Every structure is written in C-alpha cells, then in structure tokens.
Amino acid sequence: MDKSTLNNYFHSLFPIEEDIVNKITETFTYFELNKHTILLDKDTISTKTFFLEKGYMRSYILNEENEEVTTNIYAAPCFVNDFLSFFKQQPTKEIYQSITDCTFWETSLKNVQSNFHNIPEFREFSRLLFVINYYKLNDRVIEMASQKAETRYLNLLKQKPHIFQNVPLKIIASYLGITDSSLSRIRKETVKI
C-alpha cells in the first residue's frame, strides 16, 4: 500500500529526512472502516494509534439524557485517538466513530514507544503534534465559552467549509453546542446577510 499521505503528514509539521519518515512509518499497517462504524468505544483501552488517511470521523459522549454530544470532528489527514487512553492505558471516556467510509494506518503503543526512544525526529514530531492538539482544544473551549452560536458557525464555515459537504448537519449542530433547528435558523439568517 502507498504510504505517501502518511509520510507527507510527517513532513508537513517540520523538515524531516525521507529515510527517517520511512523508518517511523514502516510499522504502520493499513485498514478500512465503513461509515457509522465504531473505531474506539467508551470504556475500552486504546492499544493503537490511528492515522486517518481519507474520510471523516467524530468523537462523542452520551449525556445524562442519553443524547449524543459530538466533542470533535476529524477530517483527513490527521491522527485520531484518545491519547490519554493510549499513553496511560486507561479506559476511554468518548466514542470514536466513522462518519464516512474511511481509510487508516495504525501502529501499536510498543512501536510508538520504540520510535520515541530511538528516533529524535519522532520525539520532535510528537511534541509538535501534542502542542497543536492542545492549541485546538484550548481554542475550542474558549470559543464555546465566549462566542455566540452564530459566530461559532461562521468560523467553522470559514475554516473548514468541506465539513459541511461531508458531515451530517445534526453532528455539526452537536459539535457547535446547538440544536438542529438552531443551526437551520442560523444558516438561513446568514444566507440573507
């Protein structure tokens, strides 16, 4: 299988030699997931890390009313995982599910730990990946606390318009922290502007 998307992702974060990238990704194996399939279920321990090559994923929780609340939407290419579960080997709190048909590359914790200890560039890549993910999470918390729903919608539409072509509006509404009907109203109002 062609690992070019996976390899290019490593190159996208910082300069890294091709042979080192090949060494990092040699243990990754390919698999596919049909849409609406659980990749990682709540209360399970993540033993692998997943690189989403093509497709869209989401993570969600069930609230006290047993309603799905989308916590994140993943658009390829990116890593998808409950990193706390993966690195600390503790149960996940979220459910990770494919929104569309997806293709992945996966590798084990053992392989990741080996790369950490033996490849300095992998350590740097991982550090950058954690910083980027922390920044996105922090940004989202601030957005949810400080912005109106309409502003959050317009920001998402501007930054990731492709999500609206590939992800059901019900999931987008949940991610934005609003109801389907509120999203529908906001969409109608912003079209008029």
pLDDT digits (tens, 9 = 90+) for 3-16: 999 999 998 888 88
Is residue 166, in this structure, part of any structural domain at all? no
Is residue 33, in this structure, part of any structural domain at all? yes
Output the domain CATH number for residue 47.
2.60.120.10
Is residue 187, in this structure, part of any structural domain at all? no
* 158-170: burial string, b at 16+ Cβ within 10 Å, e else: eeeeebeeebeee
Question: Looking at residue 193, what is its pLDDT?
Answer: 52
Q: Is the pLDDT of residue 190 over 90?
A: no
Question: Looking at residue 63, what is its pLDDT?
Answer: 93
Please report which helix (H) or strand (E) contains residue 124, including its range: helix 120-146
Is residue 132, in this structure, part of any structural domain at all? no
Is residue 158, in this structure, part of any structural domain at all? no
**149-159 and 180-192 are packed helices; what angle lies between their axes, rounded to 10 degrees?**
70
DSSP 137-156: HHHHHHHHHHS-HHHHHHHH
Task: Count up the domains in the chain and report the number.
Answer: 1
Averaged pLDDT for residues 47-73 = 95
pLDDT tens, position by position, 60-72: 999 999 999 999 9
pLDDT tens, position by position, 93-128: 999 999 999 999 999 999 999 999 999 999 999 898
Handedness of CA 128, 69, 189, 74 (dihedral sign): positive
Is residue 125, in this structure, part of any structural domain at all? no
Domain that holds residue 61: 4-119
